[in-house]
Amino acid sequence: MTFPFWVAGKPVTAGATAPVQHPYDGSPAGSHFVPSPSDLDAAVQAAADVADEFATLPAHVRAGALDHVSRSLGERSEEFAALITAESGKPLKWARGEVGRAVSTFRWAAEEARRFSGELQRLDTDPGGTGRLALVRRVPRGPVLGITPFNFPLNLVAHKVAPAIAVGAPIVLKPAPATPLTALLLGEILAGADLPPGSWSILPVDNEMSSKLVEDPRLPVVSFTGSVPVGWAIRDRVPRKHVALELGGNAAVLVCPDWTDLDYAAQRIATFAMYQAGQSCISVQRVYAHDSVFDALASKVVSQVHALRTGDPRADGVDVGPLINVDAASRVSSWISSAVSAGGRLLTGGSQSGATVEPTVLADVPEDVSVMAEEVFGPVVSLVRVSSVADGVARVNASKFGLQAGVFTRDVPTAFEVSAALRVGGVIVGDVPSFRADQMPYGGVKDSGVGREGPAAAMADFTEERVTVLTGLTL
């Protein structure tokens, strides 16, 4: 099937086409029409033209459109899951989970749209403000450029599109070149929503053409999820725009000496180090385990990894599929070899076949080696022994990233102490850092980016405060 792209809410089936291949075996996943420079200009101009109208659209209309998307996604969940698997190589079980999350993301945005009301401030707290009341509302900054990565081709699209619609900000979406089809299929559902023309466009263009979108002054907001170098380069290129960046990390787990359920910890670590072949910004990459539990935990993690099924992601029951392409797999494989050469111990895995890397567990890897210091974005986890909780916290914080961390402890003072000390955007106590509820603020510090996702948080990011002062009132 060849998918249309979408300009101002209308499908376009003209011009050149581009194929998309299944990462597992190279079979066709589909193709899409490719926008021209004039299509880009038309989409951006339509967004600029409709901005004032969309910003004043009644809340019930915006919320109703989001409810429609949420409901329709649920009705077509298997179709979307199959397409996610076809173009990304994500195992079907995880693709189904992603669709379910997107259903919730649009539902949450609909609910937030209904209560996005601002606040009142009485100003007679000083004599000069007697009889005055301030109405503080948030209004759209303007049209949004949303740029999304390949690893969540539906739910990370939802985290750009849903909050933009919720606040009445037109959005021009640029999906990842490797996985554009799911976003284009979403366009079919958006087209059935009661939204004005120009309020959304979906443009599957390459990175060179997307640079023109980044620089276009008609798009004053850029929301980017992707790699660190590209994200910071966008911010440097357009310093006068409002730029939100979610740039990934090398998520760490700290296993404290009081944690006794090592079977549970090992199962969670193994599952979420390897799910989606490790291609998640918060997949478990580093595990710092206290001396007293390290050996037992390491053995259990290896056993849990052995229990994971690797293979064709279209088959039910497969846990770990391929990486997005062979080049990505080769890079991960080379990083594993470098870690072993630097003195790390290979406890299991390490082999590569095409785009698939065998789930890999390493131990005793030096902190400056790539699998520890950088974002692997592959099915690799490294286990490190620490002498104390403080030692573990210091090692987690030594990273240039700071997205989320997991802490296995049942001691409440320890949980609060560690949560306060860790320099990350989120701390998950009693579980791995891979947990994300789509309604919560999500984002990081340091090289993990700026700004927060989650419908309410992104709605705040896409808007700015406007104050109206009423005078001569009896309060």
Dist. CA 247–CA 161, nearest whole Å: 18
Instruction: Indicate the length of the chain as a whole number.
Output: 475
Burial of 38 (0-12, 13-18, 19+ CB in 10 A): exposed
Read off the amino acid at residue 218: R
Question: How many other CB atoms are found less than 10 A from the CB of residue 192?
Answer: 12
Apex 275 CA angle, 269 and 276, nearest 5: 155
Read off the amino acid at residue 432: V
Dist. CA 222–CA 172, nearest whole Å: 10
Dist. CA 63–CA 177, nearest whole Å: 30
Residue 466's H or E segment, with its range, is strand 463-470
Q: Which residues pair with 19 in a beta bridge?
A: 31
Query: How is 43-96 classified by DSSP, letter by letter?
Result: HHHHHHHHHHHHHTS-HHHHHHHHHHHHHHHHHTHHHHHHHHHHHH---HHHHH
Catalytic residue among 87, 98, 112, 246: 246
Q: Kind of pairing, strands 133-140 and 463-470?
A: antiparallel
- 374 classed as catalytic: no
Q: What is the dihedral of CA 226, 229, 233, 235, to 10 degrees?
A: 50
Catalytic residues: 246
